[in-house]
A and B are shown apart, each in its own frame.
Chain A
């Protein structure tokens, strides 16, 4: 499936992309494809645990991830980024919608067939402290997926562990130590080694650097980039650090209250954002340069993010949007391609002007 078929399905009236770009985009192979994906967590109450409502963590998102690219997924706390990643990997069950991986419908894959697919899709977590078992040595942590999926004998597993450790910049001498003997950055490297142990195609990186010191973040990001080049990995890179996402991503999706409100090539998203939320988000991120900061126009959003258990009707952003008009409070804006694979959900955004 290509981006063109997305526009057919979901973006009526979208302008056809320029011919050069069409050719370029058609060449890219889709690895992961998500359509109308929803995840609602029931809210239970009372002695009989009756359902009294639902947290609409993910509320209908559609996007593709191309083979070999890094798709950045940004948004504020609670916007549904992690849940989106988990539902794609089937760590959470979708409430509605579909997610396909390499043409296989994941939401209908279960049991043994899902287990067989697992090695190809992995996840790296935010907190390198809690995601590693403190009672296991580094070697057994990394070997776990190898054993679970019956890859090789003890001897070849041993060799693979050494290889993986050097690949992530640790010494094979570290194999018999325990996680607490490592720094945060090193622990994240161990998590990465485990994630790539089975030669995955697709890795969801969920805030992989958020818990790390500034001087260590660049080390880990550079490592992820090197491994991507070496192993041809495809990443979904979840982060609330918009500056780092600009650095690492090829395309970026912006989430707000369970919805993706904008998705575009990285430079288009940062240099020419179309959705009012993306614009406000960009303007809120401080730039480490006093000269730039002094001359910056700031757009401050008012109010707080509404609760995902009671999202506003119409456009989810309407309670804070400086441009909101009457229909924004009743009509849900359509998710559509405004040209060049730039997707936006806003009533006021037409086709790309450039």
Chain B
């Protein structure tokens, strides 16, 4: 349904070029839940914002790639068509709802605006539908809340309003960028439950960006792991956790404690995430990788099949403990 190939985005800043996204390929299937995990700065947000051309240009620049959605390339489409796709067929939810909600408009007005922009709903239809949507995302006293301004709502309530707006035009895809990171854990659990429920009801495809490997474990069908502006591994959720192939994924999973297990030792990934200021040469994980060998420093590993629907970008065959055959 959505197919991204060779997407690369740079930022041209006074201090030099930031190579934020360096050639990304992935697809999103009908109705699936795709988790995107990676550390701060790995390029998760820039990837998704680039798709909808939401990055500031300049300094941002999409240097290559295509993003086919329903037969059209989002990166080539003219702006008026793209505007219809945004918020229409593709809904967006951001980490901080305060930055995307308009502080001077009531909740009802904001949902209504979006409905009127993308459908030819009348004011009355829009009102009725807004009410339905608020009820759908579990907001109590929906009637009252339509008249509320964003600052009168708690963080969890605001995020629900964002979800309601994203759902307003029955999109085929929702892209959620760290939608629960700023929320308390019991409120996060409420939002996750709503999303789970809505997926079952509406069958919308979801891209969920997070750095929390726990959240993704319980929600996703497939997972993409990003590092240094690239996808380093992609697999069905069960396979990724049971049999991670990329040394970074493996290290990450071994470095996080679990609520359901007694104090086990935490493994560490030494060193720090890569600087994106230099054009990447070789594998960007090499300085931190215990398996690195000569080739890793010069050749950039591409995503390669390592199992059923499972791809990793690594020169080392971790299963057989030897360099991967030439690919």
| Docked complex: A41-75 residues within 8 A CB-CB of B | none
Q: Please count the residue pairs between chain A and chain B whose beta carbons lie under 8 angstroms apart in the complex.
A: 129
The answer to whether B258 touches A243 (Cβ under 8 A) is yes
Interface residues of B (CB under 8 A from A): 39-40, 154, 156-157, 184-190, 192-193, 211-215, 217-218, 237-238, 241-242, 251-253, 255-264, 266-270, 272-273
Q: Quick one: which of A183, A222, A244, A280 contacts B186, CB cutoff 8 A?
A: A280
Residues from chain A with a CB closer than 8 A to the CB of B242 are 291
The answer to whether B241 touches A185 (Cβ under 8 A) is no
The answer to whether B262 touches A288 (Cβ under 8 A) is no
- Verify if A301 is at the interface (C-beta below 8 Å from B): yes
The answer to whether A301 touches B259 (Cβ under 8 A) is no
The answer to whether B184 touches A185 (Cβ under 8 A) is no
The answer to whether A215 touches B187 (Cβ under 8 A) is no
Q: How far is the CB of B187 from chain A (nearest CB, A)?
A: 7
Known: A214-B211, A247-B257. A290 touches B218 (CB 8 A): yes
Residues from chain A with a CB closer than 8 A to the CB of B270 are 219
Interface residues of A (CB under 8 A from B): 76-77, 183, 185-186, 213-219, 221-222, 240, 242-244, 246-248, 266-267, 270, 280-294, 296, 298, 300-302, 304-305
Residues from chain B with a CB closer than 8 A to the CB of A283 are 189
The answer to whether B241 touches A290 (Cβ under 8 A) is yes
A267 CA / B189 CA spacing, docked (Å): 23
Known: A217-B255, A247-B266. A293 touches B189 (CB 8 A): no
The answer to whether A77 touches B184 (Cβ under 8 A) is yes
Known: A216-B272, A218-B268. A288 touches B258 (CB 8 A): yes
The answer to whether B40 touches A243 (Cβ under 8 A) is no
Closest partner residue, chain B, to A182 (CB atom): B272
Residues from chain A with a CB closer than 8 A to the CB of B237 are 290
A290 CA / B266 CA spacing, docked (Å): 20
Supply 28 A–B pairs (Cβ within 8 Å), ascending by A: A76-B186, A214-B39, A214-B213, A214-B255, A215-B39, A215-B252, A216-B272, A218-B267, A222-B266, A240-B185, A243-B214, A243-B256, A243-B259, A244-B257, A247-B264, A248-B263, A267-B262, A270-B259, A270-B260, A286-B192, A286-B214, A286-B215, A287-B217, A287-B259, A288-B217, A296-B218, A300-B193, A302-B190
The answer to whether A281 touches B185 (Cβ under 8 A) is yes
Residues from chain B with a CB closer than 8 A to the CB of A301 are 186, 189-190
A214 CA / B272 CA spacing, docked (Å): 11
Q: Quick one: which of A213, A217, A242 contacts B185, CB cutoff 8 A?
A: A242
Residues from chain A with a CB closer than 8 A to the CB of B184 are 76-77, 240, 305
Q: How far is the CB of A282 from chain B (nearest CB, A)?
A: 7
Known: A221-B266, A243-B257, A246-B257. A284 touches B238 (CB 8 A): no
Residues from chain B with a CB closer than 8 A to the CB of A248 are 263
Residues from chain B with a CB closer than 8 A to the CB of A213 are 39-40, 211, 273
Q: How far is the CB of B273 from chain A (nearest CB, A)?
A: 7
A76 CA / B186 CA spacing, docked (Å): 8
A246 CA / B263 CA spacing, docked (Å): 7
Residues from chain A with a CB closer than 8 A to the CB of B261 are 246
| Contacts beyond the supplied A243-B257, A281-B185: 20 A-B pairs with Cβ under 8 Å | A185-B272, A214-B39, A214-B256, A215-B251, A218-B267, A222-B266, A246-B257, A246-B258, A246-B262, A246-B263, A284-B188, A285-B214, A286-B212, A286-B214, A289-B260, A290-B238, A291-B242, A293-B218, A300-B189, A301-B190
Q: Quick one: which of A280, A281, A282, A304 contacts B154, CB cutoff 8 A?
A: A304
Closest partner residue, chain B, to A220 (CB atom): B268
The answer to whether A215 touches B269 (Cβ under 8 A) is yes
The answer to whether B185 touches A183 (Cβ under 8 A) is no
Known: A76-B185, A289-B241, A301-B189. A246 touches B267 (CB 8 A): no
Residues from chain B with a CB closer than 8 A to the CB of A282 are 259
Closest partner residue, chain A, to B288 (CB atom): A215
Closest partner residue, chain B, to A185 (CB atom): B272
Known: A298-B193, A304-B157. A281 touches B186 (CB 8 A): yes
The answer to whether B260 touches A292 (Cβ under 8 A) is yes
3 closest A-B pairs by beta carbon, nearest first, are A286-B214, A293-B218, A247-B257
Residues from chain A with a CB closer than 8 A to the CB of B256 are 214, 217-218, 243, 288
Residues from chain B with a CB closer than 8 A to the CB of A215 are 39, 251-252, 255, 268-269, 273
